[in-house]
Amino acid sequence: MNKTKWFAALSLFAAHGWAYADAISGEVTKQPLNIPAIVMFFLFVGFTLGITVWASKKNKSTKDYYTAGGGISGFQNGLAIAGDYMSAASFLGISAMVFSNGYDGLIYSTGFLVGWPIVLFLIAERLRNLGKFTFSDVAAYRLQQTPVRLFAASGSILVVIFYLIAQMVGAGKLIQLLFGMDYIYAVVLVGFLMVCYVLFGGMLATTWVQIIKAVMLLSGASFMAFVILKNAGFSPETMFRQAVDIHEKGVDILGPGSLVQNPIDALSLGLALMFGTAGLPHILMRFFTVPDAKEARKSVFVATGFIGYFYLLTFVIGFGAIIFVTKDNPHFFTQMVKEGKTVFEMIGGTNMAAIHLSEALGGNLFLGFISAVAFATILAVVAGLALSGASAVSHDIYSSVIRKGKATQHEEMRVSKATTLALGVLAVLFGVMFEKQNVAFMVGLAFSIAASANFPILMLSMFWKGLTTRGAVVGGFTGLILAVGLIVLGPTVWVKVLGHEHAIFPYANPAIFSIPAAFIISWLVSVLDKSARGKEDKAGFESQYVRSMTGIGASQASDH
């Protein structure tokens, strides 16, 4: 295997809170062709394209296209949500963090997981009862449609674009590294497949791509964890002892380390992960694919179980990598001299720990399987993002704002498909443009916008009678602008990307400031709003509350 440099993980992990997002960024060198991985990749693509053809025959209306006709079961939807959420960055990044820092990696895993009970207990059921295709349906339910939908669509599209750019750049580099394919071809391939899944198969095909990916990822990760634990006699204590004996940090890997040294940043990161999860448009959209609120609840329950199980597996895989991916093996590490000192660098960078571990545990065939899983993971996530972005444009902006709800289903579908195509082209262009850039901050930005703009307005619209249109729009845009502005002025972008010596805003994660700001401004503006529209907004809360709790009228709303 050629020597590879992947300047991503460790230094940035310690430097800022969004290190997780950097799991698939950095500089890579193309690897030799990985034949088993390519064969398994083609099997996956062929199978999922077959599903897309099948799904395309079932898409007759906007409801079919956006929400798979509302016919996905709670279990299937839960698995699909898990597939949407368990990204390649999670799999490679978290296990690499455990490999490098031990216990600290578990803190990140927990941060992502704790958002799900909020979704389960506060949002899922009401969201399903109030919404139709997008979360804007819920935010604008009793408020003035045009301004609220424009705000909500802005937040959704920004989240989708930032998330998509990070995924495309990561996909190009990961495929370059795993399959030996040129970066440009890798990005074009991901963009082409993403457009095919969404354009022809809509939500039904996207759902099944996510389900298949989730099953593949959970199966592969379970096998790895099983072999690791079997080696330790199924004793976690023995596994930890073996890891402590090998790791250069010794027993320190079992305690909190440098990743959470700054309590403000750590808390801010936790808030963004927790509330950002409940504001991601492509995740919220999945709750409209089930037939009723009971299945929505069930889907979150199932998703939480699978996601929690997955993050536990990454913890075991990280410790397994410490045990099996050792510096004395030239397959995994290369020796070099730096500044007069002999050092060992993992081939492909620290983020390849899980990939190298798969080879150590299951040989070249299993390495191919895990490589194909990593690729499937990226495809599933970008397909969900593209569908979410397309629905924000076609349903929220075109149909609800421009055509004032008078667009036919055919017209809305046409706009949605055109948007999907445009997103595919943009994704490839952005992927090429940002190839040499550190795009880690973009995932952080996406989570911060979701937590600071989408989440506060979603919560206030569902739970506070006093919210008015003016309050929602001003408060929502305040959270959005603060999240973007503070990340740009913070160390992640201002210092690391723009090259300034000192950051204007000292923290990498703005959520601890931007989330309360959005709530407070929304509250203040709503309280001061004495307009006729404001009174109308408040008066509409009672009927919304009844609908959100009972679901009366929800199915009819989904049918029109």
Q: Indicate whether 431 pLDDT > 70.
A: yes
Q: How confident is the model at residue 31 (pLDDT cuts 50, 70, 90)?
A: low
Judged by average pLDDT, the poorest of 99-113, 322-336, 400-414 is 99-113
Residue 469: closest CA among 405, 396, 533, 399: 533
Axis-axis angle for helices 145-179, 455-463 (nearest 10) = 140
Mean pLDDT on 256-283: 78
The phi, psi pair for 259, rounded to 5°, reads -65, -25
| Secondary structure (H, E, C), 498-545 | CCCCCCCCCCCCCHHHHHHHHHHHHHHHHHHCCCHHHHHHHHCHHHHH
Mean pLDDT on 290-298: 87
Q: Compute CA distances 332 → 63, 242, 359, 452, 457, whole Å.
A: 49, 19, 10, 41, 48
Residue 229: closest CA among 242, 217, 245: 242
Question: Which position has the token pair 């989708």?
Answer: 160
Q: Percent of the chain beyond pLDDT 70?
A: 89
Q: How would you classify residue 503: left for phi > 0, otherwise alpha for psi between -120 and 50, otherwise beta? A: beta
Structure tokens at 335: 């020796």
The C-alpha atoms of residue 102 and residue 467 are separated, in whole angstroms, by 45
The C-alpha atoms of residue 529 and residue 185 are separated, in whole angstroms, by 54
The per-residue pLDDT for 25 is: 47
pLDDT, tens digit, for every residue of 106-142? 776 776 677 777 776 778 888 888 877 788 888 888 9
pLDDT, tens digit, for every residue of 329-354? 887 888 877 777 778 878 767 777 88
Q: In 232-292, where does DSSP find H-type helix?
A: 236-246, 263-277, 281-284
Radius of gyration of the chain (CA): 23
Question: Which position has the token pair 């408060």?
Answer: 475
The phi, psi pair for 45, rounded to 5°, reads -65, -45
Structure tokens at 347: 């081939």
Q: Is the Cβ–Cβ distance between 471 and 541 less than 8 Å?
A: no
The C-alpha atoms of residue 326 and residue 31 are separated, in whole angstroms, by 21
Structure tokens at 454: 């989408």
- In this prediction the pTM is 0.81
